């Protein structure tokens, strides 16, 4: 038996077929009362629009590609879930792929026109892509960039201020009285993530008048738990081990936390630890992890809003936008409740 049609919905709502079509297509110039009446009729009848027919008519697929470096990294998984939800709320399907940070895959993605693959737009979180690669991109579906890598206004970009965030994380450790602060995640010839977070780490030290001990800057090939644990073990083997560690993401921090506890040391009493990303694992670790918490919901919402703005104005030559999302320092057990060398009231911020 055939399902309800536009005509059926129009009769149920007491409006024209065109009005129903405008509501289904999310046409903005429909009175709120009329839109509500039509939506109520759609819900009562169980009407489902023919997305294929609508796509053919509009010349759009209502599909957005989301490409991240690593699907099995919790930060990207959590962000992807939010982007999918934001897209779905606006009638778009989000399809996901990952590049493992491979420059050739990232370059291939942006140099091909996404429209023959039926993507209306692409949201990409690049690691290895260069500005020269992006400037060579032919006309095609709009592209929006996520993450730390900046391309000097070559494309819309949504990110937090990584330098300010790393500065705040390091300053928190200084505020609780730590002076030998290590950093895990340095990549001398690596990605922008490490460079920006190291810059913030150095800036906090400089403002506090504390010299950075270069021997406490630990490299990490990848931002995974094993890399954090290995770097932490090297630090603990020193006779002058650090009293605090800023890890450039939460996976590094969780690996470092495990290594400290395995040595019979206490966190935060012996070594305080701060991470970055606020992944769910850190809220359930023992102790729970102090971390920089990017506003992932805002990142997802602004990314979808901006890519849909570009899709709806395919001939729009407006300059690319640099969109800043907020962040906060979530202070938890890995720096609070036992390791302060100053009174707790000296902390600049207190967050749950």
Q: What percent of the chain has pLDDT over 90?
A: 61
Q: What percent of the chain has pLDDT over 70?
A: 88
- Indicate the range of 145-154, 210-219, 291-300 predicted with least confidence: 145-154
> Above 90 in pLDDT, residue 322?
yes
Structure tokens belonging to residue 166:
């790393």
Mean pLDDT over 178-201 rounds to: 92
> Above 60 in pLDDT, residue 162?
yes
Predicted confidence at residue 340, as pLDDT, reads 41
Mean pLDDT over 242-251 rounds to: 98
Residue for token digits 């493992």?
Answer: 100
Predicted confidence at residue 56, as pLDDT, reads 47
> Above 50 in pLDDT, residue 310?
yes
Helix (H, G, I), strand (E, B) or coil at 293: strand
> Above 60 in pLDDT, residue 174?
yes
In the sheet that 272-276 helps form, which strands lie side by side, from edge to edge?
A: 217-219, 181-186, 244-247, 272-276, 290-294, 327-330
- Indicate the range of 20-24, 56-60, 122-126, 192-196 predicted with least confidence: 56-60
What is the tens place of the pLDDT at every residue in 276-296? 999 999 999 999 999 999 999
CA–CA distance, 169 with 244 (Å, rounded to integer): 11
Residue 111 vs residues 95, 115, 136, 276, 309: alpha-carbon distances, Å? 19, 12, 7, 32, 22
Average pLDDT, the chain: 87
- Indicate the range of 114-118, 235-239, 295-299 predicted with least confidence: 114-118
Predicted confidence at residue 57, as pLDDT, reads 53
**CATH number assigned to the domain with residue range 162-294+329-349, chosen from the 4 options 3.40.50.2300, 3.20.20.70, 3.40.50.2000, 3.30.565.10:** 3.40.50.2300
Residue 43 parent element (H or E): helix 32-45
> Above 80 in pLDDT, residue 96?
yes
pLDDT confidence band for 108 (50 / 70 / 90):
confident
Matching CATH topology for 58-159+296-325 and 162-294+329-349? yes
Mean pLDDT over 114-140 rounds to: 77
Whole-model pTM: value is 0.80
Mean pLDDT over 307-315 rounds to: 81
- Asked if residues 189 and 166 have their Cβ atoms less than 8 Å apart, the reply is no
**DSSP string covering 4-28, please?**
--HHHHHHHHTS-HHHHHHHHTT-S
What is the tens place of the pLDDT at every residue in 323-336? 999 999 999 999 99
Mean pLDDT over 11-37 rounds to: 85
pLDDT confidence band for 346 (50 / 70 / 90):
very low
CA–CA distance, 29 with 23 (Å, rounded to integer): 9
Instruction: Report the topology of domain 58-159+296-325.
Output: Rossmann fold (3.40.50)
What is the tens place of the pLDDT at every residue in 39-52? 999 989 888 766 54
The structural domains of the chain, with segments of one domain joined by +, span 1-26, 58-159+296-325, 162-294+329-349
> Above 80 in pLDDT, residue 114?
no
Mean pLDDT over 90-119 rounds to: 79
CA–CA distance, 51 with 54 (Å, rounded to integer): 5
Predicted confidence at residue 352, as pLDDT, reads 47
What is the tens place of the pLDDT at every residue in 214-229? 999 999 999 999 999 9
> Beta 244-247 vs 272-276: how paired, if at all?
parallel
Predicted confidence at residue 314, as pLDDT, reads 61
- Asked if residues 291 and 256 have their Cβ atoms less than 8 Å apart, the reply is no
């Amino acid at each position: 038996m055939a399902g309800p049609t536009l005509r059926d919905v129009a009769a149920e709502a007491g409006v024209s077929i065109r009005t129903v079509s405008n509501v289904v297509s999310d046409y903005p110039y429909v009175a709120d009362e009329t839109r509500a009446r039509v939506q109520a009729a759609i819900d009562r009848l169980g009407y489902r629009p023919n997305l294929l027919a609508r796509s053919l008519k509009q010349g759009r697929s209502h599909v957005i590609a989301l490409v991240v470096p690593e699907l099995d990294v919790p930060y990207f998984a959590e962000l992807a879930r939010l982007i999918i939800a934001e897209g779905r709320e606006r009638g778009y399907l989000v399809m996901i792929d990952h590049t493992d940070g491979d420059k050739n895959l990232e370059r291939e993605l942006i140099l091909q026109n996404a429209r023959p693959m039926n993507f209306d737009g692409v949201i990409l979180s690049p690691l290895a892509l260069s500005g020269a690669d992006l400037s060579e991109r032919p006309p095609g579906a709009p592209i929006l960039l996520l993450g730390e890598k900046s391309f000097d206004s070559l494309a819309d970009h949504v990110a937090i201020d990584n330098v300010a965030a790393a500065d705040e994380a390091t300053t928190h450790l200084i505020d609780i009285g730590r002076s030998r602060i290590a950093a895990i995640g340095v990549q001398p010839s690596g990605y922008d993530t490490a460079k920006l977070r190291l810059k913030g780490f150095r800036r906090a030290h400089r403002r506090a008048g504390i010299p950075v001990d270069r021997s406490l800057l630990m490299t990490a090939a990848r931002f995974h738990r094993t890399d954090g644990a290995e770097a932490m073990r090297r630090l603990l083997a020193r006779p002058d081990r650090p009293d605090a560690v800023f890890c450039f993401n939460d996976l590094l921090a969780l690996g470092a936390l495990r290594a400290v506890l395995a040595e019979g040391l206490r966190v935060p009493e012996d070594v305080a630890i701060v991470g970055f990303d606020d992944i769910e694992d850190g809220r359930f670790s023992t102790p729970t992890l102090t971390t920089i918490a990017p506003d992932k919901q805002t990142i997802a919402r602004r990314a979808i809003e901006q890519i849909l703005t570009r899709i709806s104005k395919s001939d729009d030559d407006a300059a690319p936008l640099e969109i800043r999302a907020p962040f906060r320092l979530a202070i938890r057990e890995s720096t609070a409740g036992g390791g302060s060398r100053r009174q707790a009231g000296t902390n600049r911020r207190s967050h749950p």
